[in-house]
A and B are shown apart, each in its own frame.
Chain A
Amino acid sequence: MQNASGPFDVCIIGAGVSGANIARRLSAYDLNLALVDSEPDVSFGVSKANSGIVHGGFHHNKKHLKARLELQGAMMFDRLRQELDFPFKRCGIVVAAMHEDEMRAIDQLYMQGVDNGVIGIEMCSRERILELEPKLHPDTLGGLWVPGGGIVEPYRFVFSLVENAVQNGVQLLTGFAVSRAARQGELWQVEAADGRTLQARYVVNAAGLFADKVSAMFGAEDYTIKARKGEYYLLDRMTKAKPDRVVFPVPTSVSKGMLVIPTVEGTVLIGPTAELVDDKRNLATTKDQLDKILSSARTMIPAVSEYDVITSFAGLRPTLDEDFYIDMSAKVPDFVQVAGIQSPGLTASPAIGEYVKDLLKKAGLKLLEKASYDPFVVKRPHVKDLSPYEVDELAARDPAYANMVCRCEKVSEAEIVAAVKAGHTTLDGIKYFTRAQMGRCQGGFCTYKIIKIIMRETGLSWEAITKNSNASQILKDVL
């Protein structure tokens, strides 16, 4: 367990995509920073299970803060990808209209997009939209084309942000479940459930689903975050239903609808549903909702088949109001609220980092650029992306690059070892970091190999091997 040093200039609570962006942005300055998360690894909350879309900037009116941050954030991804080496691609977004009423809604979206300044947005005839996305139902009437929209692996994005933040001096404390806070003079005293404490001048509340609880602990604003569950199906990369673009239906008043997403790593994601749940740890999928996903996806792309399903999962959106709530607390000093970051939170997150930096500056935080700041992470090779000749060269240096562990996603032993060395020691942590266990066999062949590598590299005993939390033990006994 890492103990906190300090006192910190800023403590960021929540190592999801918002907290990670804020921490990384602030790490460019001469500051003592802490990033804490209640889970054993970063990106294990809202940021792990979502659509992974860099949105097009046409869904929301720019009178909303979230629309402005979405537009600004979306533009920042190309540079971030250069610096942080995470999977991201601008494959473009189509919105498919299946009947006349929907074409009228498309008209509205187009106007909003033009008004928001979306680059390259187009209204499409049937012929144009089928040319852009031939997998669409032949009865598609027309739609919208937004070439700047893209796809990203959300957890890999967070991992890279945090890795870079840590490289630049941020102290990361995982398993740090904030349980109490108190003012001590000019400082916040923050206490975790396991007894660890830290002190910080400013606190940023980016606690996702639990931002309301954290706000209450600090005596700040009283609000309620509700969890809206989204269920997904993941389809095999061999599916015939893989589109070239992200395919949206025409949105409704409450949701952007269920999408068909060609993920940046080659599988296909369909979903999400949208359903309010009381329990913020309820990530169960349900038959009714999953059935809805299949039928909805098929109306747009008829080739979607249940036989291609390799897994289902659910994520929770932290919903507050229509807009994001990002502001200095009006009730307590030196406390920043970053709450209600649902869609398009991932897209907006780099801009949220900027916005919070500016809020803190206005509140009196001294921002001195530091000469040692390095925005680049060390690029790690992925065997999957290399030619046999390149792998042969790598293997000459480290033979583990030619020892394949995960056959479905083509992950080598060296990549698993790198993940463990980067601090990902749960099976899920390794899955999100490397993609091993994420393919069609869902870990049937490689789980035991990964368990052995974790044990070898960390010295952990079999009892300490878990899926994603202390209670999710994988093995129960030895023979």
Chain B
Amino acid sequence: MKDLFFDAVVIGGGAAGMAAALELDAAGLSCAVIEREEQLGGILTQCIHNGFGLIEFNEELSGPEFAERVEEKLQGTNIRSFTSTTVMELDAGSENKVLFCYSALWGVLRLSCNAIVLAMGCRERNRGNIRIPGDRPAGVYTAGLAQRLVNIEGYVPGKDIVIIGSGDIGLIMARRMSWVGCKVHAVVEILPYPSGLTRNIVQCLNDFDIPLYLSHLTTNIIGRDRVEGVEITPLENGALMSDKAFTIPCDTILLSVGLVPENELSRMAGVELNPMTNGPLVDSMLMTNVPGIFACGNVLHVHDLVDYVVEESRRAGKYAAQWLKGRRPVREVRVKAGANVRYLAPVRVDVQADNKLYMRTLIVKNDAVLEVRVNNRVVKSIRKNHIQPSEMIQLQLSPKDLESVLSAPDPVVEVSIN
């Protein structure tokens, strides 16, 4: 068994992991990236559509191009990347953390380190998670699996397609499957509004005349061996209109019904999770409750753009490097999700540092106001032209914004949207 030591180990070699590793390396620390797939880049490598990099690189790139841009920066650094390598065990019990990693090339690797950055990304929710009853034939795939089959393996999983859920991957796949000559009959969404980005609704559905059924529930999957159809039932005022149910004949169902951060390793390490995001609860330095374990990217909370993933992960890498060199938050307070806010990440801010938070709202609204209150007194108020659950909101909180925390006896910081 090969035994290696690094100052920090980054788990996951997607955009998040690479961005975090670059910062650790820049701070002069030794660092390894562990990636279970054959190449770095994570899910970006199968996202051959464009729309990536507008913020990060100020130009429109495809997923593989974006990944390549980040990967190029790894060249000439001292970062060790281990691909086709899976972290199987993680022991964070003592100051010296130990990871057991399996790979066909190395056998079992035993890595010791002082800090870990979790960057494992997320997985797709599946049929069972949303409990669609019915037959269990071939032809029911998650949109991401279909994307992999088409874009990398070169196989078309089906010809007549219905997409359940209007998440971004589903929308992108509606366009992709149309391009390879398939008929996409419908996209079905349970909510009264789409869960993907507006630009994807326009470019992937409207431009291809693909009908979007909002407020419709998938109530049955039909087909003994291969999918033959899917039963859809409209919802009116939250109630199922069973007499208005209809069936769309198809041979394939693609599911785009949400993503879940993949935190099995985090749990193994004793990391506490936020039930709202299924990602770790992190402090102002993006550190989990386990000292020396940091989290960033989609394993922390599901982002809408990879550009934000990279931005957040750079901070996680920087914070991990600072933590290894002895920096600790000066004074932290808890930030509460108030009215119409689904979650905030991180959940703590340092009153003497510049803080950046990402958040999601629960509502769709034009001319909304985002407010930050300390003990019920508004300290910051920001106008938003339009907000919706599918688009992340950013919030900066400076020491000046949080000044009143210092004098408050039991300070509560709350963020709300109205």
A residues contacting B by CB (< 8 A) are: 234, 238, 281, 283-287, 290, 306, 309-313, 383, 388-389, 391-392, 395-396, 399-400, 402-404, 407-408, 410, 412-413, 427, 440-445, 447-448, 451-452, 462, 466-479
Question: Are B155 and A472 in contact, CB atoms less than 8 angstroms apart?
Answer: no
Distance (Å) between the CB of B385 and the closest chain A CB? 34
Question: Are A389 and B108 in contact, CB atoms less than 8 angstroms apart?
Answer: yes
When distances are taken between beta carbons in the complex, the residues of chain B under 8 Å from A462 are 155
Q: A395-B107, A471-B225 are in contact. Are A309 and B123 (CB under 8 A)?
A: no
Closest Cβ neighbor of A289 among chain B residues: B133
Question: Are A309 and B108 in contact, CB atoms less than 8 angstroms apart?
Answer: no
Distance (Å) between the CB of B158 and the closest chain A CB? 5
When distances are taken between beta carbons in the complex, the residues of chain B under 8 Å from A470 are 225
Residues 137-155 of B, flagged 1 when their CB comes within 8 A of A and 0 if not, give 1110110110011101111
Which one of A407, A408, A413, A469 contacts B225 once the chains associate, using CB atoms below 8 Å?
A469
Question: Are B134 and A403 in contact, CB atoms less than 8 angstroms apart?
Answer: no
CA distance in complex: A241, B264 (Å): 17
Question: Are A448 and B124 in contact, CB atoms less than 8 angstroms apart?
Answer: no
Which one of A396, A442, A469 contacts B128 once the chains associate, using CB atoms below 8 Å?
A442
Known: A389-B108, A448-B145, A448-B153. 11 other contacts (CB 8 A): A283-B135, A286-B133, A388-B88, A441-B124, A447-B145, A467-B137, A468-B138, A475-B156, A476-B252, A478-B156, A479-B156
CA distance in complex: A451, B149 (Å): 10
Closest Cβ neighbor of B222 among chain A residues: A284
CA distance in complex: A284, B140 (Å): 14
Of residues 63 through 118 on chain B, the ones whose CB sits less than 8 Å from some CB of chain A are 84, 86, 88-89, 100, 102-108, 110
Q: A285-B133, A441-B124 are in contact. Are A392 and B1 (CB under 8 A)?
A: yes
Closest Cβ neighbor of B148 among chain A residues: A448
When distances are taken between beta carbons in the complex, the residues of chain B under 8 Å from A285 are 133-134, 136
Which one of A290, A396, A448, A473 contacts B107 once the chains associate, using CB atoms below 8 Å?
A396
Question: Are B137 and A472 in contact, CB atoms less than 8 angstroms apart?
Answer: yes
Q: A309-B131, A395-B108, A441-B126 are in contact. Are A402 and B155 (CB under 8 A)?
A: no
B219 on interface, CB distance cutoff 8 Å: yes
Distance (Å) between the CB of A458 and the closest chain B CB? 17
Contact sample, A vs B, 18 pairs, CB 8 Å cutoff = A310-B128, A311-B127, A389-B1, A389-B108, A391-B88, A392-B107, A396-B107, A400-B104, A403-B104, A404-B86, A441-B124, A443-B145, A471-B224, A471-B225, A476-B156, A478-B155, A479-B150, A479-B154
Which one of B1, B145, B149, B267 contacts A388 once the chains associate, using CB atoms below 8 Å?
B1
Question: Are A403 and B84 in contact, CB atoms less than 8 angstroms apart?
Answer: yes
Q: A389-B1, A445-B123 are in contact. Are A474 and B157 (CB under 8 A)?
A: yes
B348 on interface, CB distance cutoff 8 Å: no
Closest Cβ neighbor of B124 among chain A residues: A444
Distance (Å) between the CB of B173 and the closest chain A CB? 14
When distances are taken between beta carbons in the complex, the residues of chain A under 8 Å from B123 are 440-441, 444-445
Distance (Å) between the CB of A190 and the closest chain B CB? 26
CA distance in complex: A447, B180 (Å): 21
When distances are taken between beta carbons in the complex, the residues of chain A under 8 Å from B134 are 284-286
Q: A283-B135, A477-B155 are in contact. Are A472 and B124 (CB under 8 A)?
A: no
Distance (Å) between the CB of A297 and the closest chain B CB? 14
CA distance in complex: A474, B155 (Å): 10
Distance (Å) between the CB of A414 and the closest chain B CB? 9
Closest Cβ neighbor of A281 among chain B residues: B224
When distances are taken between beta carbons in the complex, the residues of chain A under 8 Å from B224 are 281, 471
CA distance in complex: A313, B157 (Å): 23
Distance (Å) between the CB of A417 and the closest chain B CB? 12
Which one of B107, B110, B128, B251 contacts A312 once the chains associate, using CB atoms below 8 Å?
B128
CA distance in complex: A238, B105 (Å): 31
Question: Are B84 and A473 in contact, CB atoms less than 8 angstroms apart?
Answer: no
Question: Are A477 and B159 in contact, CB atoms less than 8 angstroms apart?
Answer: yes
When distances are taken between beta carbons in the complex, the residues of chain B under 8 Å from A284 are 133-136, 220
When distances are taken between beta carbons in the complex, the residues of chain A under 8 Å from B252 are 476
